[in-house]
């Protein structure tokens, strides 16, 4: 027998093993105190989970254009298309890139670079069109974008007032949510010189 064997309480281990076997076999039940303790702990955990505050969020579709990040509220987004197939509209204002066919209807496509005074390249930089419906008239038009980041859930507590313009909110990571009502559709009049 080694020194370690002498220190081991084999009788205690055997008793614990017998108790465990009795619990597993159903010969011995859990004490009422232990049962209350476990159930009370479970009840506290469930109560805390129910009282967790659900954070209010704003769902948006984020995209990039002119080196900046923008978003529109998800309820205004109809769908996203590839930008190929945009046909020029002779005599249209500079902020209207052209039109494309989307779900059996002709949709004008706006250039946010022109509307918002952003730097930007040519048509080849614009790979996507976010088709939106704005206002009570449900006027549909497209917003040309360089790329689409996808759906984002923005915590409302993190939204701040944006700079002046057709904007609703600004996030800490510089994502600007557009106000489609203020932005107007393709038929909205623009200041002189545009």
Mean pLDDT (whole number) for 21-25: 75
In a domain, 172, yes or no: yes
Q: For the residues of 156-193, what is the DSSP string, one character each?
A: GGG-BPPPSSSEEEE-TT-EEEE-HHHH--TTS---TT
In a domain, 6, yes or no: no
Instruction: List alpha helices for 26-117, DSSP H.
Output: 32-50, 112-116
Residue-wise pLDDT for 60-113, tens only, equals: 999 999 889 999 999 999 999 998 888 888 998 988 999 998 888 899 999 999
In a domain, 2, yes or no: no
Q: Look up the domain containing 154 and give its range.
A: 57-183
pTM of model > 0.75: no
* CATH (domain of 166): 2.40.50.180
Nearest to 139 by CA among 94, 108, 179, 166: 108
Q: Name the one residue in this structure whose structure tokens are 């996507």.
A: 128
Instruction: State residue 103's pLDDT score.
Output: 83
Residue 6 pLDDT more than 80?
no
In a domain, 16, yes or no: no
Instruction: State residue 77's pLDDT score.
Output: 93
User: Please, which pLDDT band fits residue 194 given cuts at 50, 70 and 90?
Assistant: very low
What is the tally of structural domains in the chain? 1
In a domain, 8, yes or no: no
Mean pLDDT (whole number) for 32-42: 82
In a domain, 117, yes or no: yes
In a domain, 34, yes or no: no
In a domain, 124, yes or no: yes
The pair of structure tokens assigned to 116 is: 């918002």
User: Please, which pLDDT band fits residue 176 given cuts at 50, 70 and 90?
Assistant: very high
Q: Is the dihedral of CA 101, 103, 108, 110 positive or negative?
A: negative
Name, in order, each residue with C-beta under 8 angstroms of 166's C-beta and a sequence gap of 6 or more. Answer: 115, 116, 178, 179, 180, 182, 183, 184
User: Please, which pLDDT band fits residue 193 given cuts at 50, 70 and 90?
Assistant: very low
Residue-wise pLDDT for 123-148, tens only, equals: 777 889 999 988 766 788 999 999 99
């Amino acid at each position: 027998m080694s020194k370690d064997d002498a220190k081991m309480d084999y009788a205690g281990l055997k008793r614990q093993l017998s108790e465990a076997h009795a619990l597993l076999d159903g010969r011995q039940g859990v004490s009422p105190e232990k049962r209350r303790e476990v159930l009370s702990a479970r009840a506290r955990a469930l109560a805390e989970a129910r009282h967790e505050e659900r954070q209010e969020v704003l769902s948006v579709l984020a995209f990039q254009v002119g080196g900046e990040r923008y978003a529109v509220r998800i309820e205004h987004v109809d769908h996203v298309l590839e930008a190929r197939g945009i046909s020029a509209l002779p005599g249209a204002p500079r902020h209207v890139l052209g039109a494309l066919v989307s779900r059996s209807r002709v949709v004008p496509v706006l250039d946010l670079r022109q509307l918002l005074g952003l730097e930007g390249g040519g048509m080849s930089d614009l790979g996507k069109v976010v088709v939106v419906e704005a206002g009570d008239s449900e006027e549909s038009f497209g917003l040309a974008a360089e790329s689409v980041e996808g759906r984002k859930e923005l915590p409302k507590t993190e939204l701040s007032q944006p700079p002046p313009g057709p904007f609703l909110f600004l996030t800490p990571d510089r994502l600007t949510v557009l106000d489609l009502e203020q932005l107007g559709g393709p038929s909205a009049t623009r200041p002189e010189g545009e």
